[in-house]
Amino acid sequence: MSTLVVLGTQWGDEGKGKVVHYLSRQADYIVRYQGGNNAGHTLIFEDKPFVLHLVPSGVLFPEKYCLITNGVVIDLESLKEEVDALTKKKVVVKNRLFVSEQAHIILPYHKIIDGILEDWNVKIGTTKKGIGPAYADKVKRIGIRAVDYLEKDVFEDLIEKNLIEKAAILKGKIDIEILKKRIFEDYNKLSEFLRPFVANTSFMLEEAMKENKKILFESAQGTLLDLDFGTYPFVTSSNPIAGGVCSGAGIGPTKINGVLGVVKAYTTRVGEGPFAVELFDEVGDFLRKKGEEYGATTGRPRRCGWFDSVVVRHSVRVNDIRNLILTKLDCMEDLDKIKICVAYKYKNKIYKEFPASRTIQNYAEPVYEEMPGFQGKVKGVMSFENLPVNAQRYIKRLEELVGASIDLVSLGRRREEIIEVNKNVSWF
């Protein structure tokens, strides 16, 4: 048995999809363990672009098994569209994609409620795809799982009860009877689509481990969007951290052999919330343009800033990360100077560890260390030694600051554009 967790160390959008795609060649099973279709991976495979939201990136390789486990909430319309799009591009999905029978289903009312809550509450910057309300129903023990969805009598009874419970918040937004009719009209099509994919994925993983299969777990979002360890309340509704694999996929903690953190060479985030290193100047615009920093799911422009080592140190600790892959280093070409945030300062106090206080997160000033930029060509370089000297120094300084080894460097969106800095690391 060999297992590896790949996760984001910042606010998501670090390039996890490409990394999972790169490592999938070595894996037998690729497993998505949390989140929903509010995440997106953009991949280039055989010169074709693929944008995946729910289906694990390994689906593009034949003979790999892809699992969507119980920690994920599933929009069936979105999943069907994704599967249909893959099928049209000649990617075989049948008998390779499996959905946990215990995964919770996103219903149309979850999306409506998501929009209502975003208008009522503090602006979180959600994608309004119903993710949070679906997780809320799960916690309130009124959620509808895949296994419930496929038992028509159970499903209809739960819908009746849930719509009574949600009538007050939906009042004035949509007629309950019209909504109910829409849900039931879609049922036959969506249940027929879902049925062949549903399985006991926790048991499948146990059997795979007994057979010494190589298993790759992929998260959505990033550590700073974790429900417990992120910039609460501006977070997602699940646990992208490595610990989320246990409850999100149904495996024991001793079954995790390694954690690979994905870290961008600068920092971005989408939506609302504190962001100490955010740039509002021409450098921020440069990074956004060079890095094509627009959400794969929403198209929203990402907020850009310098590398924040306080954030990444926090991620290294809570995930027990020992190995990192640095992405988008090529997007920093031609900057004369590069800054790295090494600490936060608030009311004359220095914070080297990420603070939980909302006040400090909102009002702390970044303490920067400055390094010379690199003018030489980065993109297309195939070895660490051939990178510009200042780029090499930047990487080594990041390692020192965050306390983990940068063993891979990604220099583009294609799977092949990855430098192996440490050729002795075995991922499985």
Phi–psi pair at 104, nearest 5 degrees: -85, 145
Is the CB of residue 21 less than 8 Å from the CB of residue 58?
yes
Q: What angle do CA 226, 318, 391 make, to 5 degrees?
A: 95
Q: Which two tokens stand for residue 390?
A: 């200042």
Catalytic pick among 21, 41, 104, 110? 41
Measured distance CA(402)–CA(331) in Å, rounded: 21
The three-class DSSP label of residue 107 is coil
Establish whether 13 is a catalytic residue: yes
Rounded to 5 degrees, what angle do the CA atoms 133, 201, 203 make?
Answer: 135
Distance CA 398, CA 391 (A): 11
Taken in order 128, 131, 132, 136, the sign of the CA dihedral is positive
CB 52 within 8 A of CB 43: yes
**CA distance between the termini of the chain:** 9
281 is catalytic: no
Residues 6+ apart with CB under 8 A from 297: 37, 38, 39, 40, 53, 127, 129
Quote the CA–CA distance of 20 and 311 in Å, as a whole number: 22
Task: Report the alpha-carbon distance of residue 129 to residue 271 in Å, rounded.
Answer: 14
In angstroms, rounded to a whole number, what is the distance separating the alpha carbons of residues 269 and 308?
Answer: 12
Distance CA 217, CA 240 (A): 11
Q: CA–CA separation, 263 vs 309, rounded Å?
A: 10
* Catalytic site positions: 13, 41
